[in-house]
Amino acid sequence: MMRRTAAAAVALLWSFGANVQELKAQELKAEVIHWWTSGGESAALKVIATEFTKAGGVWIDNAVAGGVNARAAAINRTIGGDPPTAMQFNTGKQFDELVEAGLLTDVEALATEGKWRSLIPEAIAKATTRDGKMYAVPINIHGQNWLFYNKAVLEKAGAAEPTNWTDVFVTLDKVKAAGLIPLAFSGTKTWERNLFNAVLAGKGGPEMFEGIYGKRDAALAASLEFKDVAETYAKLRGYVDVGSPGRNWNDATSLVIQGKAGMQVMGDWAKGEFVAAGQTAGKEYGCTVLSDKGGGYVMGGDVFAFPKLKDPARTKAQVLLAKIMLEPETQIAFAQKKGSIPVRLDLDTSSLDLCAQKAMKWLADKNQQIPAQELLSPPDLTGAVEDAISQYWNTPSMSADAFSAKVASILKASN
C-alpha cells in the first residue's frame, strides 16, 4: 500500500517535472513559415535555427517553396486566426496590408534597444517601418544588379572586365567575335525586368531609379535620359542567344560556368551555382557592378514579420527570434551560407567571399545604396511595369519612345 502510494507520488512528481519541462519548451516554440528549401538556403536557415535552439527555443519548420506559395500560406493562416510565429517576406511592400489590418506586432522596442536603425542601410530601415515603427526584421541584403563573368572566356576574347554600360558593349562584341554567347540570358519576365533595372540603376543612376519607382514621376519616364536607358537596354538584345526565351536563370548561369557564355547579369544568389560547380569568386569567375554614374548597388533581401499573438509564451519566442536574427555571429554565418551580405554594415566581413566583400565596401558609402524596386513600388505596380518591360524586350520593332510612353502612362495611372 505504502509502496503504491510512493510509486504514485513519484509518478506524479515526475510527470509534474516533465510538464514543467514541456511548459518550458512550449514557452519558446516558434513556427516559422518561409521559402528557403534548396541546399544552400537550408544551410543558411539552420544557422538561425541553431542559435535559436541554443538560446532555449524550439524551432518548428514550415517550409513552402516558391515565395508566392509561402506568403499565400502564411497570409491565409494569419487571417484564418491561426497565425505562425514568424513569416518570411521580401524586403518591401508585401506585408503592408497586414500592418494596416493590425495583424502584425511591431519590433520597435527591439530596434531601439539594439540601435538597429544606425546599423542597417537607411532604405532598408525605411522599407520595414510603417507609421514610425518597425514591423519586420531584415535578415540579409541581396544585390540584384551583379555582373558575373567567366574569366577564361574574357581572356580568350581579349576583353577586359567591363565597368559601365558603355564599355560593356566592347567586351560583348569581343566575346561575340570569339564565337561564344556574349550575354547568358534567362528570357522570363522576372529576369527581363531585373536586367532593365540593372541598366536603369547603372546608366540612369540612383536618382532616376528612385524617381521612377519611388516617386512614380511620369514626366521622368518620358524624359530623354530614360529613353537613353531604354535604348541601351534594347541594344543588349543583340547579344543574347536564340535559346534565351523561357530559359531558367540557373541554366543561363550554367552557360557562364561552362565557358559557353561570357557573362550574366543576375543577383548574388547565382554564386550558389558557381559554388556547386566547384568554382571560386576571383579565380574562375569575376563579379562586378556596372555603373556610369559612379555607383549604385540595388539592394533587395528578406525580412521576417511577426503576427500578433495572444499567447504570451509565443510572443516571448518571437522576441528571442528577432533578437537572434540581427546578432553579429548569426549575420556573418548566415551570409556565408546564403551568398547574401549581412544587413548590418558594422561587421568584420573578411570571412565572406570576394564579391560579398566588394559589396560591403560599396555599401559603406550611402550614395551607393539603391533600394530595389520592391522596396519602392507595391507588387501590383511592379507587375504592370514588368509586363511592359517584357513586351519591349521581346518586340524588336517597339521603339524606345513607345516603351517610355507606356511606362509613363502606367506610372500616371498608379498615382
Partner 1 sequence: MPARLLRLPSRFVATLALAPAFAVMLVVYIGATGWTIWISLTNSRMLPGNVFVGLRQYESLFANERWQVSVHNLIIFGSLFVLASLALGFLLAVAIDQRVRGESLLRSLYLYPFSMSFVVTGLVWQWLLNPTLGIEKLVRGLGFEAFRFDWIVQQDMAVYTLVIAAVWHASGLAMAILLAGLRGIDEDIWKAARVDGLKTWRVYVSIIAPMLGASFATAAVLLSTAVVRLYDLVVAMTNGGPGLASEVPAKFVMDHLFERQNLGLATAAATTMLITVAAVAAPFLYWQSKRQRLLAR
Partner 2 sequence: MGSVAIEPQGRKPRHMTPARIGIYAFLVITALFFAVPLYVMIVTSLKTMDEIRLGQILSLPLHPSLDAWRKAWSSACTGLNCNGMQVGFLNSVKILIVSVPASILVGSVTGYALSFWRVRGATLLFGAMLVVAFIPYQLFIYPLVRVFSVIGINNSLIGIVVVHTIFGLPTMTLLFRNYFAALPTELFKAARVDGAGFLRVYWSIMMPMAMPILVVAMILQVTGIWNDFILGLVFAGRENLPMTVQLNNIVNTTQGERAYNVDMAATMLTALVPLIVYFGSGRWFVRGIAAGAVKG
At residue 405, what are phi and psi to the nearest 5 degrees?
-65, -40
Please list every residue from 56 through 95 that binds partner 2, using CB under 8 A.
59-67, 69, 73, 76, 79-82
The Cα–Cα gap between 305 and 174 comes to 47
Task: Give the residue from 333, 329, 330, 332 showing the smallest Cα distance to 360.
Answer: 332
Task: Answer yes or no: are the C-beta atoms of 33 and 62 closer than 8 Å.
Answer: yes
Rank residues 245 and 328 by Cβ distance to partner 1 and give the closer one: 245
* Residue of 60, 370, 330 whose CA lies nearest to 199: 370
Helix (H, G, I), strand (E, B) or coil at 133: strand
Chain residues binding partner 1 by CB under 8 A are 68, 71-72, 75, 79, 94, 96-98, 101, 187-189, 241-248, 378-380, 382-383, 387, 390-391, 393-395
Return the one option of partner 2, partner 1, none that residue 380 interacts with (CB less than 5 to 8 A, by type).
Answer: partner 1
Amino acid letter, 325: M
Which option in partner 1, partner 2, none does residue 267 bind, with CB closer than 5 to 8 A by kind? partner 2
- Sequence-distant (≥ 6) Cβ neighbours of residue 125 within 8 angstroms: 116, 117, 134
405 is in the binding site of which of partner 2, partner 1, none (Cβ under 5 to 8 A by kind)? none
Window of 12-20, 27-35, 204-212, 227-235 that interacts with partner 2 by CB under 8 A: 27-35
- φ and ψ at 202, to 5 degrees? -80, -50
CA distance 196 to 400: 13
The dihedral through the CA atoms of 63, 67, 69, 72 has a sign that is positive
Comparing CB distances to partner 2, the nearer of 159 and 257 is 257
In the complex, the smallest distance separating the C-beta of residue 38 from partner 1, rounded to whole angstroms, is 15
Residue 97 CB, shortest distance to partner 1, in Å, is 4
Looking at beta carbons only, is 27 or 251 nearer to partner 2?
251
Q: Are 247 and 141 in contact (CB under 8 A)?
A: no
Site for partner 2 in 103-162 (CB under 8 A): 142
To which H or E segment does residue 298 belong? strand 297-300
284 binds partner 2 (CB under 8 A): no
Q: Which three cell numbers stand for residue 42?
A: 537550408
By CB under 8 A, is residue 375 in contact with partner 2? no
CB of 30 to partner 2, least distance (A): 12
Residue number with CB closer to partner 2 (79 or 410): 79
From candidates 28, 30, 34, 331, binder to partner 2 by CB under 8 A: 34
Amino acid at 365: D
- The verdict on 280 binding partner 2 (CB under 8 A) reads no
Task: Give SS3 for 372.
Answer: coil
Q: What does the binding site for partner 2 look like in residue numbers (CB under 8 A)?
A: 31, 34-42, 45-46, 49, 59-67, 69, 73, 76, 79-82, 142, 248, 250-251, 254, 257-258, 267, 269, 272-273, 276-277
